[in-house]
Structure 1
Amino acid sequence: MKRSILTALLLGLIGSVLLAACSNNNSPSNETGKASPTGTNPASETASSGASETAPADLPAKFDPPVEMSYVSYQFATLKYDKGDDVNNNVWTRMLKDEYGIIANNLWEVPYAQYLQKTDLMIASGDIPDFFVASPTQLRQLYDADMIEDLTDIYANYAPELVRKVQDAAGDYPRKAATIDGKLMGIPFTGVLRESVNGLWVRMDWVKKLGLPEPKTFEDFIALADAFANQDPDGNNKKDTIGLGLDKDLAMTAPFMNTMHAYKSIWTKDADGKLVYSSTLPAMKEALMKLNEMYEKGILDREFVVKDPTKLFEDVTANKVGMFYSAGTAGAYPLQGSKDNDPNVEWKMFPLPAYDDKPGKFQTELDVFHGFWVVKKGAKNPEALLRILEQWLAKFYFNNSDEAHKQFVSGADNDTIWMESPAKMYMPTRNRDFYLLVNEVLAGKTDQSTVPPGVRDILGMIEKYKAGDNQFWGQNLIYGEGGSMGVADYYINNNLYVQNEFITAPLQIMVDRGTNLTKLELDAFTKIITGNQPIDSFDKFVTDWKKQGGDEITEAINEWYTANQ
Structure 2
Amino acid sequence: MRTFAKRAALLAAVSTLAVSTACSGAKTEEASTTDSETTVKQEQVAFTDIGSDIRGNEKPTQQQIDEVNGTLNDTYLGDIFDQPIPNDYSAYPVEGDVTLDVWMAAPAEIPDMNTQLVQKQVQKLTGIKVNFITPPVGQEADAFTLMISSGELPDIIIDPGRYPGGLEAGLNDGAFIDLTDLIEKNAPNYNAWRNSDEMRRKTTVTDSGRLLGFYGIAPYSEWMWFGPLIKKEALEKTGLEVPTTIDEWHTFLTKAKEVGYTEPLNYGSSYGQIFTGIINGAYGVWDWTFMDADGKVQWGPAQPKAKEYLKTMQDWNKEGLLNRDWATADFNQRMATAISDKTAIMMDSPDTMWSYWKQQNDIDFVGAPNPVLNEGDKPQVSYKNFMRAGTSAAITTQAENVEAAMAFLDFGYSKKGWEVFNYGEYGKVHLIDKDGKPYFPAESYIYKDPDGQPVATTLHKYRVHDWANIRDEHNSNPLIVAEGSYSGDIRKTWTEEMDASMTMPPITFTQEEASREAELGNQLATLRSEYYAKIIMGELPVDAYDKFLQEAQKMGLEEFVALHQAALDRYNQR
TM range (shorter): 0.5 to 0.7
Taking the aligned partners of 1:284 and 1:194, their CA distance within structure 2 comes to 30
Q: Secondary structure at the match of 1:551?
A: helix
Matches within 5 A, 1:222-261: 222-229=250-257, 231=258, 233-234=259-260, 241-247=262-268, 251=273, 253-257=275-279, 259-261=281-283
Q: Given the superposition, is the C-alpha separation of residues 108 and 153 from structure 1 closer, same or farther in structure 2, using an over 3 Å criterion?
A: same
**Mean CA deviation greater in 505-514 or 141-150:** 505-514
**2:159–2:393 CA contact under 8 A, matched in 1:** yes
Q: Which residue of 2 aligns with 1:184?
A: 211
Q: Secondary structure at the match of 1:425?
A: coil
**1:178–1:188 CA contact under 8 A, matched in 2:** no
1:491 aligns with 2:535: no
Q: Secondary structure at the match of 2:130?
A: strand
Taking the aligned partners of 1:432 and 1:496, their CA distance within structure 2 comes to 26
Q: Which residue of 2 aligns with 1:393?
A: 418
1:142 aligns with 2:170: yes
**2:102–2:133 CA contact under 8 A, matched in 1:** yes
Q: CA deviation at 1:547?
A: 0.7
**Mean CA deviation greater in 511-520 or 48-57:** 48-57
**2:118–2:420 CA contact under 8 A, matched in 1:** no
1:201 aligns with 2:220: no
Q: Which residue of 2 aligns with 1:445?
A: none
Q: Which residue of 1 aligns with 2:393?
A: 372
**2:230–2:366 CA contact under 8 A, matched in 1:** yes
Q: Which residue of 1 aligns with 2:367?
A: 349
Q: Which residue of 2 aligns with 1:70?
A: 100
Give 1:214's aligned amino acid.
V
Give 2:206's aligned amino acid.
T
Q: CA deviation at 1:123?
A: 4.1
After superposition, the C-alpha distances for 1:17-71 in whole angstroms (9 at most, x for unaligned) are xxxxxxxxxxxxxxxxxxxxxxxxxx99x95745989776976163574583623
Taking the aligned partners of 1:293 and 1:88, their CA distance within structure 2 comes to 50
Taking the aligned partners of 2:345 and 2:496, their CA distance within structure 1 comes to 25
1:526 aligns with 2:553: no
Q: CA deviation at 1:181?
A: 2.5
Q: TM-score, normalized by length of structure 1?
A: 0.67
Q: Secondary structure at the match of 2:393?
A: strand
Q: Given the superposition, is the C-alpha separation of residues 529 and 421 from structure 1 closer, same or farther in structure 2, using an over 3 Å criterion?
A: closer
**Mean CA deviation greater in 426-435 or 513-522:** 426-435
Matches within 5 A, 1:95-114: 95-97=125-127, 103-106=128-131, 108-111=133-136, 113-114=138-139
Cα RMSD (Å) of the superposition? 4.6
Matches within 5 A, 1:259-408: 259-270=281-292, 273-301=295-323, 304-336=326-358, 340=361, 346-356=364-374, 357-364=376-383, 369=390, 371-374=392-395, 376=397, 379-380=402-403, 383-384=406-407, 385-390=409-414, 391-397=416-422, 402=427, 405=430
Give 2:213's aligned amino acid.
G
Taking the aligned partners of 2:350 and 2:88, their CA distance within structure 1 comes to 41
Matches within 5 A, 1:409-488: 411=445, 413=450, 415=458, 418=462, 424-425=468-469, 427=471, 429-430=473-474, 455=481, 458-459=482-483, 476=484, 479=485, 483-488=486-491
Q: Secondary structure at the match of 1:151?
A: coil
Q: Given the superposition, is the C-alpha separation of residues 52 and 514 from structure 1 closer, same or farther in structure 2, using an over 3 Å criterion?
A: same
**1:244–1:323 CA contact under 8 A, matched in 2:** yes
1:94 aligns with 2:138: no
**Mean CA deviation greater in 243-252 or 285-294:** 243-252
Q: Given the superposition, is the C-alpha separation of residues 59 and 432 from structure 1 closer, same or farther in structure 2, using an over 3 Å criterion?
A: closer
**1:268–1:499 CA contact under 8 A, matched in 2:** yes
Taking the aligned partners of 1:87 and 1:211, their CA distance within structure 2 comes to 48
1:550 aligns with 2:569: no
The higher relative CO (CA closer than 8 Å, separation ≥ 6) is in 1
Give 2:403's aligned amino acid.
K
Q: CA deviation at 1:546?
A: 0.8
**Mean CA deviation greater in 511-520 or 180-189:** 511-520
Matches within 5 A, 1:116-135: 116-135=141-160
Q: CA deviation at 1:274?
A: 3.5
Q: Given the superposition, is the C-alpha separation of residues 500 and 510 from structure 1 closer, same or farther in structure 2, using an over 3 Å criterion?
A: same
Q: Secondary structure at the match of 1:200?
A: strand
Q: CA deviation at 1:154?
A: 4.6
After superposition, the C-alpha distances for 1:105-164 in whole angstroms (9 at most, x for unaligned) are 326444454455445444445454443324224323431034544334554567666886
Taking the aligned partners of 2:354 and 2:479, their CA distance within structure 1 comes to 14
Q: Secondary structure at the match of 1:276?
A: strand
**1:263–1:279 CA contact under 8 A, matched in 2:** yes
Taking the aligned partners of 1:519 and 1:96, their CA distance within structure 2 comes to 45
Which 5+ residue runs of structure 1 have no aligned equivalent?
Answer: 1-42, 98-102, 235-239, 437-454, 460-475
Q: TM-score, normalized by length of structure 2?
A: 0.66
**1:166–1:427 CA contact under 8 A, matched in 2:** no
**Mean CA deviation greater in 316-325 or 390-399:** 390-399
Q: Which residue of 1 aligns with 2:542?
A: 535
Q: Which residue of 2 aligns with 1:444?
A: none
Taking the aligned partners of 2:467 and 2:226, their CA distance within structure 1 comes to 28
Q: Given the superposition, is the C-alpha separation of residues 104 and 170 from structure 1 closer, same or farther in structure 2, using an over 3 Å criterion?
A: farther
Matches within 5 A, 1:213-228: 213-228=241-256
Q: CA deviation at 1:255?
A: 3.6
Q: Which residue of 2 aligns with 1:441?
A: none
Q: Secondary structure at the match of 1:361?
A: coil
Q: Given the superposition, is the C-alpha separation of residues 433 and 211 from structure 1 closer, same or farther in structure 2, using an over 3 Å criterion?
A: same
Give 1:392's aligned amino acid.
G
Q: Secondary structure at the match of 2:367?
A: strand
Q: Given the superposition, is the C-alpha separation of residues 346 and 163 from structure 1 closer, same or farther in structure 2, using an over 3 Å criterion?
A: farther
Q: CA deviation at 1:213?
A: 2.1
Q: Given the superposition, is the C-alpha separation of residues 321 and 405 from structure 1 closer, same or farther in structure 2, using an over 3 Å criterion?
A: same
Give 1:209's aligned amino acid.
K
After superposition, the C-alpha distances for 1:301-325 in whole angstroms (9 at most, x for unaligned) are 4554454454333322221112121
Q: Given the superposition, is the C-alpha separation of residues 298 and 182 from structure 1 closer, same or farther in structure 2, using an over 3 Å criterion?
A: same
Q: CA deviation at 1:260?
A: 0.6
Which 5+ residue runs of structure 2 have no aligned equivalent?
Answer: 1-54, 57-72, 433-437, 452-457
**1:267–1:501 CA contact under 8 A, matched in 2:** no
Taking the aligned partners of 2:466 and 2:265, their CA distance within structure 1 comes to 42
Q: CA deviation at 1:93?
A: 1.6
Taking the aligned partners of 1:433 and 1:333, their CA distance within structure 2 comes to 12
Q: Given the superposition, is the C-alpha separation of residues 491 and 331 from structure 1 closer, same or farther in structure 2, using an over 3 Å criterion?
A: same
Q: Secondary structure at the match of 1:348?
A: strand
Q: Given the superposition, is the C-alpha separation of residues 489 and 165 from structure 1 closer, same or farther in structure 2, using an over 3 Å criterion?
A: farther
Q: Which residue of 2 aligns with 1:470?
A: none
